[in-house]
Amino acid sequence: MPDFFEDVARKWKSFSGGRHPSTRIDEEAVLTTYARWAPVYDVVFGAAFRAGRRAAVGFVNELPPGRILECGVGTGISLPYYANDHRIHGIDLSPEMLEIARQRVADQGLPNVDALVEADASDLPDGDATFDASVAMFVMTVVPDPQAVMSELIRVTKPGGAVVLVSHFADQKGWRKWFGEKLSPLSASLGWHMDFSVERILGRSELRLVQRRRVGPFGFFTLIVFERL
């Protein structure tokens, strides 16, 4: 699987030469990229993102038992961390990632995972107010239309429920900003927007911000929790 490593190398060379990679993200590009990364995604990114995932799932596990949507479930790397009394419904755009997630559920015997469905996060197949909480981990900076995804998370979450996000945002200073810039070539190979401002997901009238804190290695990621009004 040398192709994706060559892709990273090309983007790094472009970045180092002062020519920033394109920030355009579309559905076809996301599908192609994650099909290539799926076999090694957990190895390459599992440890780096673990603290962010644990923080988001940890918040969910403090909630009463309920139906939980994980939007962008990917390889299902977070699924074993959910409390057994939650019922988990995962969606992802990538069939290759979902194949790994389904195998994980089978191998680890996770009876609380009700469904893993191929779906577009900006056009969810679920009805209004279906879930007690909706979770999107490291998703908002990769989707083509983050506002549409936010609208869908709001729509499918019950009033009084939680919308839980974790990601890296550009609203950082000092060494965190410097480190984010150095990661830009790798993030570009995955379609991530390292320049994504947190303001793009704040200020929704249907949501009340209840928690915002740094998590992960050296606080590089941010956990954001909303109450659905």
Assess if residue 66 is contained within a domain: yes
What span, in angstroms and rounded, lies between the C-alpha atoms of 118 and 97?
10
Q: Answer with the residue of higher pLDDT: 28 or 150.
A: 150
| 128 secondary structure, DSSP code | T
The yes-or-no verdict on residue 10 having pLDDT over 80 is no
The yes-or-no verdict on residue 154 having pLDDT over 80 is yes
Contacts of 11 (CB under 8 A, 6+ apart): 21, 185, 186, 188, 189
- The model's confidence at residue 21, banded by pLDDT at 50, 70 and 90, is very low
Please tell me the pTM assigned to this model. Answer: 0.79
pLDDT reported for residue 31: 75
Assess if residue 202 is contained within a domain: yes
Nearest to 141 by CA among 82, 210, 221, 83: 221
Domain range enclosing 71: 2-23+34-208+215-228
What span, in angstroms and rounded, lies between the C-alpha atoms of 221 and 160?
25
Assess if residue 139 is contained within a domain: yes
Reported as a single tens digit per residue, the pLDDT across 77-111 is 999 999 999 999 999 999 999 999 999 999 999 99
Assess if residue 28 is contained within a domain: no
Tally of domains in the chain: 1
For residue 75, the domain's CATH number is 3.40.50.150
Cα→Cα distances 154→25, 74, 142, 202, Å: 23, 21, 18, 12
